[in-house]
Amino acid sequence: MQETSGLIPKNLEFADKAREKLIKGINKIADAVGSTLGPSGQTVLIESPHHTHGITVTKDGVTVASAIDLLDPVENLAVRMVKEAAERTATSAGDGTTTSIVLTRAFVEAGMEVLSSHPNKTELLRKLQGEVDKVTASLKAHSRAVTKGRLKDVAKISANNDDHIGGIIAKVYKELGKDGIVTVDKSQTSETYSTTTNGLQVDRGMATPLFINDQKKDECVLEDTFILVSDAEISNVLQIEKVLKPIVSENKKLLIIAPCSTNVVNTLAANKMKRDLKICVVPPPSFGYKQHELMQDIAVSVGATYFSEKTGDDLSLMTPQDLGHADKVVVDRDSTIIVRDKVSNKEEVSARVSELREAHKIAKTKADKDFILSRIAKLTGGIGVIYAGGNTDLEQKELYDRIDDAVCAVRSALEEGILAGGGIALYKESIAYEEDTTEEGKIMYHALRAPLMQILKNADKKDINFEQLKYSDYNHGYNVKTGEFANMIEMGVIDPLKVTRTALQNAASVATTILSTNAIITMARSYE
């Protein structure tokens, strides 16, 4: 008998039939995600077994898109490709996923119509990419730097016009500066609030509560303290004898950030209680390569020599000169704050930050980018956390998503500047193509208008006369929420340039791939 177990049958779709199914898939995901766009965008209910009661309620484009998988394999391929545009945008800019999906559909719609009668598809798609590059350059030319006064507006728009959330985010960034990193976490109460610190935060607390010296706050507080940094396990106190002796004899303070055996932790804790030894032990943060990178960052930040097991360093050779220093450390059961009001090694820290910024540019995933950004924040001394509250898990999850989008939008605005929001910047770019009779011009005209048209549709706005926008200032547009024609930036309707540009570029890229497709091969499926 012939062996056939390794063969997997395939289905093939060609030309118009294939593209029709692709369009069906694109329309399904764009209809679902597009409905969330703008101030009148609606929430989407998602069956989600990983959340409370099996339900997720969200306006977040990425969350909606991620939940969509279609039964038809060709339609689902289209969904996966559109998701790619959204995910690329989210990874690069942190927001703009919905806009990228709306743009992708518009590019494909117009492209399908034009390509049906065009003899050279490859040449047309090349010209289309050239027009996208022109529009991107124009958007950059019309952008302006974001001021502190406009931070709230950027955050407010991305948070679904939530003035309270916009105010919290703006306050945190004003305190931290543009290099500060703001993260989002879930509040343990219904209250939404923020915290900031000017120090280095280590996501590990004390090895044992026996090190607590402030009983009221349940903390170990050490001022004017030396710091030992190592990923090599201290299995015996004699390994660090050269360091401990002068610390004890001169009544100094010491923070140890290193893996320590239970015996070492207990010995140091006992001496802390019996002999008033001013010391605290904190395990290294994270695991694997992340731990190594974070420990290097800590060592650079406090001016310590990093003794690493990976490079064969011998702890017995450590001397007091290898210790770092901090003005104050505050250690609780979960985290450590190292306050560095007087940074003596500014050049080393600056060099480390420069290395990390270069690493951020080439990082491939959002997770890697976020990890590097958090490290930069720790080194530059700006850390803020916004805690999303809520009366129910559903309410908290929805608020968490909105805050996260808004934080990402502010970060992007600080990086590259801002544009008139509400789809107006892209609409203004479309005006140049209104009388363009070329195939690529027709596609651009349709696509660039799509985000504003979707916002108007969601707001149930009909018969709006946009004739005045042809001759007005670039930032003059239509505020869907108020029904006014005015300067969008002055009204606080703002989009980050990075978000708009990235959404446009990624949408065009994915749409070009779809438009150039003539055959689709999928695995045969049985639904019995």
The pLDDT, as a whole number, for residue 217 is: 79
Segment 329-336 mean pLDDT: 90
The per-residue pLDDT for range 66-111, each reduced to its tens digit, is 899 998 888 999 999 998 888 888 878 778 899 999 999 999 999 9
The pLDDT, as a whole number, for residue 430 is: 96
Cβ atoms of residues 187 and 388 within 8 Å = yes
Long-range contacts of 178-181, Cβ-Cβ distance < 8 Å, separation of 24 or more: 178/414, 179/376, 179/377, 179/380, 179/382, 180/377, 180/380, 180/382, 180/383, 180/384, 181/373, 181/374, 181/376, 181/377, 181/382, 181/383, 181/384
3-state SS, residue 145: coil
Label residue 467 by pLDDT band (50, 70, 90).
confident
Residues forming a β-bridge with 219: 214
The per-residue pLDDT for range 3-12, each reduced to its tens digit, is 445 566 777 7
Segment 150-154 mean pLDDT: 89
Q: Which structure tokens are listed for 116? A: 């049906």
Residue with tokens 């607590």: 212
Least confident of 221-235, 284-298, 380-394, 412-426: 380-394
Exposure pattern of 77-93 as b/e (b: 16+ CB <10 Å)? bbbebbbbbbbbbbbbb
DSSP string covering 236-281: SGGGGHHHHHHHHHTT--EEEES-B-HHHHHHHHHHHHHH---EEE
Share of the chain above pLDDT 90, in %: 52
The per-residue pLDDT for range 285-330, each reduced to its tens digit, is 988 889 999 999 999 989 999 999 888 899 999 999 999 998 889 8
Identical fold for domains 145-193+383-416 and 201-344, yes or no, is no
The pLDDT, as a whole number, for residue 1 is: 40
Name the DSSP class of 373.
H
Question: Residue 395 and residue 311: Cα distance in Å, rounded?
Answer: 48
Asked whether residue 407 carries a pLDDT value surpassing 60, the answer given is: yes
In the chain, the N- to C-terminal Cα span, in Å, equals 27
Residue with tokens 């320590």: 260
CA 257 to chain centre: 29
Question: In 58-162, which ranges are continuous DSSP H helix?
Answer: 61-66, 73-93, 97-115, 121-142, 148-158
Label residue 342 by pLDDT band (50, 70, 90).
low
Q: Are strands 279-282 and 519-523 parallel, antiparallel or unpaired?
A: unpaired
Ranges of each domain in the chain: 10-143+420-523, 145-193+383-416, 201-344
Question: Residue 214 and residue 193: Cα distance in Å, rounded?
Answer: 25
Q: Which of 3.50.7.10, 3.90.580.10, 3.90.850.10, 1.10.10.10 is the CATH number of 201-344?
A: 3.50.7.10
The pLDDT, as a whole number, for residue 309 is: 87
Output the CATH code of domain 10-143+420-523.
1.10.560.10
Domain with residues 145-193+383-416, CATH architecture? 2-Layer Sandwich (3.30)
Label residue 393 by pLDDT band (50, 70, 90).
confident
Asked whether residue 341 carries a pLDDT value surpassing 80, the answer given is: no
The pLDDT, as a whole number, for residue 51 is: 61
